[in-house]
Structure formats: C-alpha cells, structure tokens
Amino acid sequence: MKVTFLGTGTSQGIPIIGSNHPVCLSDDPRDKRLRVSVLVEWNSNTYVIDCGPDFRQQMLTNKVEKIDGILFTHEHADHTAGLDDIRPFFFKQGDIPIYAHKRVLGELKKRFDYIFASENRYPGAPAVEEIEVINNEPFRLGGIDIVPIDVMHDKLQVFGYRFDKFAYLTDVKHVNEEEMHKLHDLDVLVVNALRITAHQSHFNLEEALDFVEKVKPKKAYFTHISHLLGFHAEVEKILPKNVFLAYDNLIIDV
C-alpha cells in the first residue's frame, strides 16, 4: 500500500496569508503545508481521505488520474471545501463515491446542494454516490476491510479510518478505550499534532506523543500541523526514532 501525504497543514495552511511568522517565511519546502489529506493506493485502487480547499492543486501535483472514492473524516471546511473540484473525475468516471457519517453527508448537502440535486441540475455540476459510514461496521474497498475509528474533536464526532496495517486519524482530541482496540498492531499510524501549546479540539505535540506511546505502532507520522509547532527541521530532532513529522508530497510504503 502506498500513502501520499497530499497536505499536512492545519486549517489555514502554512504559510498563513499575510503572516510574517518565521515558520511562514521559511525556505524549507517541508514548512509549506497545504490542508490535510492523504491519497491511499493499493493494487489498482485509489482513495483520498478528505477533500479540502487544496484538492485541485494536490491532484495536479501528484498527477492523480482517477479516484475510486473519497472518505470524509468530518465536515469542517479544511476537509471538505474542495468537493466541487471532483468535476474532472466525474466527467471521466461518473458519480464519485463518497463515504461519510450521516451527519457529514447532511452537512455536505447543505453546502453543495447543487451536487446532490435530483432535478434541474446544472449541466456542469458533478454528482456523487453517497455511502454512509457507521461505527463498528467495517466496509470493504478493493479487497480490504476499512475500519472506521470513532473519535472526538472536542465535542464533534470524527471518523478515522484503518486500512489493514495503516490508520489515519486527524482532528482528534479524545479517543475512548473501545476505539483504541481498533488500533492494535499497526505498521503506520498517522495522527494530528497541531502545535506545542494545548488546544481545545486538537492533540498538541505532547498529547500526540502520549497517544503514540499507547497505540504502539511500528511508525507514526504527525499531520494537521500549525506554524506554531515550529520549523520542521527543529521539531524532527526532538522526536523518538520511530516518530516523524509528515510533510507535503511525502510518500510512504505500508
């Protein structure tokens, strides 16, 4: 399985528009972070997790020619605002399958009503096939079981997804014990580490490291990173040897 980090930044991305923060001004390409998303590929299957405002650029940079579906974690704009840009895939492939919690499907319908309209459709509008994701109901994609992981982003429910020995969790603040059982024996865990200081709805660096200690994956990568985490090169130096900061366009084999 091949995992490409399409974006590893928090909601505003790095650099932030108009910011003179040193991390926003960094020349290190690893300090340039688009909004979070990953591409997961195995055999001939291609899925993306989330579809944020940088989706178009991410598809172009990585020369993605088809997608078999989009798995949504939650409805926040940094994870959903690029949905209109599935159009080129829709024109070639037809309705694009989207997998999400029922609540998230409802939110997408409000924001992109024209995509979901059943009549008087604008001819250029894309269309989707809705698939509801239900906790404790793994679903099969391309011959493997996808296990939804139900976690909390402050008071908002979010889904993480496990693909075989790989799990992707973002925008997490709390994970209960039952869900922790779904994360045993992972080769790679991806989880959010927003910044150094505490935050209401995201793990900071210390919480993300504690979480990795509990889950004990072979390797962990941090994502959904704010400029307030610091320079990539500096932060990586202080991490345990099996823990890494992800960066945009990093590709890993799982």
Closer CB to Zn ion, residue 42 or residue 72?
A: 72
54 near Zn ion, rule: CB under 5 A: no
Of these, 30, 33, 76, 182, which contacts Zn ion (CB under 5 A)?
76
Give the nearest distance from C-beta 74 to Zn ion in angstroms. 6
For the chain, the helix, strand and coil percentages under 3-state DSSP, each to the nearest 5:
25, 30, 45
Give the nearest distance from C-beta 25 to Zn ion in angstroms. 23
Q: What mask, x for binding Zn ion by CB under 5 A, covers residues 77 to 106? A: -x----------------------------
Size of site (CB under 5 A) for Zn ion: 3
179 near Zn ion, rule: CB under 5 A: no
Instruction: Burial-class residue 57 by CB neighbours within 10 Å (0-12, 13-18, 19+).
Output: middle
Q: Which residues contact 106 (CB under 8 A, 6 or more apart)?
A: none
Q: Give the E-state strand segments of the chain in sequence order.
A: 2-7, 37-42, 45-49, 69-71, 96-100, 128-132, 139-141, 144-153, 156-163, 166-169, 188-192, 219-223, 243-245, 251-253
Give the nearest distance from C-beta 105 to Zn ion in angstroms. 17
C-beta atoms surrounding 24 within 10 Å: 17
Positions 185 through 214 that interact with Zn ion (CB under 5 A): none
C-beta atoms surrounding 172 within 10 Å: 25
Query: CA 91, 60, 72 angle in degrees (round to 5)?
Result: 70
* Peptide bond between residue 53 and the one before it cis (omega within 30 degrees of 0): no
Q: What mask, x for binding Zn ion by CB under 5 A, covers residues 127 to 166? A: ----------------------------------------
Closer CB to Zn ion, residue 1 or residue 104?
A: 104
**Residues 225 and 15 sit within 8 Å (Cβ to Cβ):** no
251: three-class secondary structure by DSSP: strand
171 near Zn ion, rule: CB under 5 A: yes
State the residue number with the nearest CB to Zn ion. 76
Sign of CA dihedral 76, 129, 99, 195: negative
**Part in contact with Zn ion (CB under 5 A); list of ranges 56-64, 71-79, 88-96, 205-213:** 71-79
**Part in contact with Zn ion (CB under 5 A); list of ranges 62-70, 74-82, 91-99, 178-186:** 74-82
Give the nearest distance from C-beta 151 to Zn ion in angstroms. 11
Give the nearest distance from C-beta 58 to Zn ion in angstroms. 15
Closer CB to Zn ion, residue 1 or residue 149?
A: 149
- C-alpha dist (Å) from residue 113 to 7, 121, 122, 131, 194: 26, 10, 11, 17, 32
**Part in contact with Zn ion (CB under 5 A); list of ranges 12-20, 118-126, 171-179, 232-240:** 171-179
Give the nearest distance from C-beta 224 to Zn ion in angstroms. 6
* Residues near Zn ion, by CB under 5 A: 76, 78, 171
